[in-house]
């Protein structure tokens, strides 16, 4: 009996020892996990930048040089080398007219000039002879005065003939109309074979031409915004793809429209190719105050369907975060929501995606 008691007591002691060890282990605090190192990716820390607050309105693109060329002589159209939307260079022939009457009038005027020149030459020579002999007392003063008057009348007739010839020559030049500057044909008002009149009551329009070299934008703004526009005098034209074009000279008209009570504002566009054409509507953003703007590079964006995001880098890795974007500013875009000042983003989203994929493969069992 005594033997059984000793043998049965050993398991109870072992169990008790294990229980004490387990309780002691439960009371200990496990060591904290080691902090993960930031991912080895090219990063950019974003900070809000001072900028102008904006107010935007729609405007219309206009050509600075735009003209409707009208008839300046009575003739019939014989040639229209260019059609609507054709590009022309300065000096190119836009309209050519019949010139039979003008050519005949020019020849007649030239003949009159030749006759008047001959009459004046003869009268001047006679006057010189009389002046020579008048000094010697061979002719009377009345005869000398008569020769001088004839010479002066011949000179007046010659000047009149030359003026008439110049006028007729100008009418002949009007039979060929040339482009005053480089541009495009925007409208044709006549066709080949039509007879045109220089007036009255008004010259007949022939062809409309617009230059694409110098453009401007006209905007109507409410009177409540004019004070800020005059103060900051800065604006940008927002294109359809989000790009912005800084406007040049800004002019605020000194009067309001009595019907709409709005002010006209005119902005000059740079001469470089902006993709804008006369007649287009654009959005114009005017500086209206001081604010701060968070901008990030377009190359850092990740687009997946309609969602746009960026890889945000932290101590524990990279996280793709969705953003709400605003206007584009050159090669950067404004962040309206999704990022805070001071956060770091991955500059190369493709490298960040590869790094995340490698981390997932390494963590897989």
Q: Check which CATH number belongs to the domain holding 259 and give it.
A: 2.40.30.170
What is residue 33's predicted lDDT score, i.e. its pLDDT?
42
**Domain with 91 in it:** 71-98+175-211
Is 34 domain-assigned? no
What is residue 34's predicted lDDT score, i.e. its pLDDT?
40
To which H or E segment does residue 45 belong?
Answer: strand 43-45
In 154-222, DSSP assigns E strands to 176-178, 183-188, 195-196, 205-210, 215-222
What is residue 363's predicted lDDT score, i.e. its pLDDT?
61
- Asked if residues 152 and 65 have their Cβ atoms less than 8 Å apart, the reply is no
pTM for this entry: 0.56
Backbone angles phi, psi at 106, to 5 degrees: -70, -40
- Asked if residues 193 and 120 have their Cβ atoms less than 8 Å apart, the reply is no
CATH number of the domain that 160 lies in?
Answer: 1.10.287
| Alpha-helix residue ranges (DSSP H) falling in 174-220 | none
Is 330 domain-assigned? yes
User: Could you list the pLDDT tens digit for every one of the 365 residues in the chain?
Assistant: 344 443 444 444 334 443 333 333 433 434 434 435 567 788 888 888 876 677 889 999 999 999 999 988 888 899 999 999 999 999 999 999 887 776 777 788 888 889 889 999 998 998 888 888 887 878 888 888 898 899 999 999 989 988 887 776 667 678 888 999 999 999 999 999 898 888 778 889 999 999 988 899 999 999 999 998 998 888 888 887 777 888 888 999 999 999 999 999 999 988 657 788 888 899 898 987 677 888 888 888 888 888 888 888 887 778 888 888 877 777 788 888 888 888 888 888 888 888 888 878 776 54
Is 35 domain-assigned? no
What is residue 131's predicted lDDT score, i.e. its pLDDT?
86
| Other Cβ atoms closer than 10 A to 69 | 18
| Number of structural domains the chain divides into | 4
| 3 state DSSP class of 311 | strand
What is residue 364's predicted lDDT score, i.e. its pLDDT?
52
Nearest to 219 by CA among 183, 250, 175, 182: 250
What is residue 169's predicted lDDT score, i.e. its pLDDT?
64
- Asked if residues 70 and 209 have their Cβ atoms less than 8 Å apart, the reply is no
| Same-domain pairing of 142 and 189 | no
What is residue 205's predicted lDDT score, i.e. its pLDDT?
92
In 168-322, DSSP assigns E strands to 176-178, 183-188, 195-196, 205-210, 215-222, 235-238, 244-246, 250-256, 262-268, 281-293, 295-297, 302-304, 307-314, 317-322
| Same-domain pairing of 81 and 197 | yes
| Same-domain pairing of 223 and 315 | no
- CA–CA separation, 95 and 262 (whole Å): 41
In 80-170, DSSP assigns E strands to 87-88, 93-97
Is 216 domain-assigned? yes
| Same-domain pairing of 353 and 342 | yes
Locate 339 and state its tokens: 């990022």
| Same-domain pairing of 219 and 283 | yes
Is 261 domain-assigned? yes
| Same-domain pairing of 121 and 168 | yes
| Same-domain pairing of 217 and 287 | yes
| Same-domain pairing of 112 and 220 | no
| 3 state DSSP class of 200 | coil
| Same-domain pairing of 75 and 198 | yes
| Same-domain pairing of 299 and 278 | no
| Other Cβ atoms closer than 10 A to 175 | 20
Helix axes 100-134, 141-173, angle to 10 degrees: 160
Is 30 domain-assigned? no
| Same-domain pairing of 199 and 221 | no
| Same-domain pairing of 105 and 86 | no
Q: Is the peptide bond before 200 cis (omega within 30 degrees of 0)?
A: yes
| Other Cβ atoms closer than 10 A to 281 | 10
Last residue of a domain, one of 172, 194, 226: 172
What is residue 222's predicted lDDT score, i.e. its pLDDT?
93
- State the Cα torsion 282-288-294-295 to the nearest 10°: 40
Is 153 domain-assigned? yes
- CA–CA separation, 336 and 103 (whole Å): 72
Residues 6+ apart with CB under 8 A from 101: 74, 75
Last residue of a domain, one of 256, 291, 326: 291
Residues 6+ apart with CB under 8 A from 59: 217, 218, 219, 237, 265, 267, 281, 282, 283, 284
What is residue 52's predicted lDDT score, i.e. its pLDDT?
65
What is residue 326's predicted lDDT score, i.e. its pLDDT?
78
Last residue of a domain, one of 142, 172, 202: 172
| 3 state DSSP class of 121 | helix
Is 121 domain-assigned? yes
- CA–CA separation, 217 and 269 (whole Å): 7
pLDDT, tens only, 41-64: 888 888 888 766 778 899 999 999
- Asked if residues 91 and 178 have their Cβ atoms less than 8 Å apart, the reply is yes
Locate 38 and state its tokens: 């930031």
Q: Is the peptide bond before 220 cis (omega within 30 degrees of 0)?
A: no
- Asked if residues 311 and 339 have their Cβ atoms less than 8 Å apart, the reply is no
- CA–CA separation, 262 and 257 (whole Å): 5
């Amino acid at each position: 009996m005594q033997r059984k008691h000793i043998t049965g007591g050993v398991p109870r002691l072992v169990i008790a020892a294990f229980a004490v060890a387990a309780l002691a282990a439960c009371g200990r605090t496990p060591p904290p996990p080691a902090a993960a190192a930031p991912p080895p990716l090219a990063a950019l820390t974003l900070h809000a930048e001072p900028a102008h607050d904006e107010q935007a309105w729609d405007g219309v693109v206009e050509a600075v040089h735009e003209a409707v060329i009208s008839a300046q002589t009575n003739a019939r159209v014989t040639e229209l080398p260019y059609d609507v939307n054709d590009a022309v260079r300065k000096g190119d022939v836009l309209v050519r007219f019949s010139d039979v009457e003008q050519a005949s009038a020019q020849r007649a005027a030239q003949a009159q000039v030749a006759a008047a020149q001959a009459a004046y030459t003869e009268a001047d020579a006679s006057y010189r002879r009389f002046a020579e002999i008048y000094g010697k007392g061979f002719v009377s003063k009345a005869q000398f005065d008569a020769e001088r008057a004839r010479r002066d009348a011949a000179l007046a007739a010659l000047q009149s003939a030359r003026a008439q010839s110049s006028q007729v020559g100008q009418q002949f030049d009007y039979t060929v109309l040339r482009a005053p500057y480089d541009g495009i044909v925007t409208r044709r008002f006549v066709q080949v074979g039509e007879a045109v009149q220089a007036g009255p009551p008004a010259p007949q329009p022939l062809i409309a031409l617009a230059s694409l070299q110098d453009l401007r934008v006209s905007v109507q703004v409410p009177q409540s915004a004019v004070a800020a526009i005059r103060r900051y005098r800065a604006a940008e034209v927002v294109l359809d793809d989000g790009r912005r074009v800084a406007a040049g000279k800004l002019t605020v008209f000194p009067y309001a429209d009595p019907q709409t009570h709005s002010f006209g504002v005119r902005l000059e566009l740079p001469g470089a190719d902006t993709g804008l054409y006369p007649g287009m509507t654009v959005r114009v953003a005017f500086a209206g105050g001081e604010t701060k703007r968070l901008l990030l590079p377009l190359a850092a964006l990740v687009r997946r369907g309609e969602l746009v995001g960026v890889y945000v880098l932290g101590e524990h890795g990279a996280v793709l975060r969705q953003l709400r974007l605003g206007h584009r500013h050159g090669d950067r875009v404004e962040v309206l929501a999704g990022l805070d000042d001071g956060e770091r983003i991955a500059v190369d989203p493709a490298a960040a995606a590869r790094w995340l994929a490698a981390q997932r493969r390494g963590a897989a069992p």
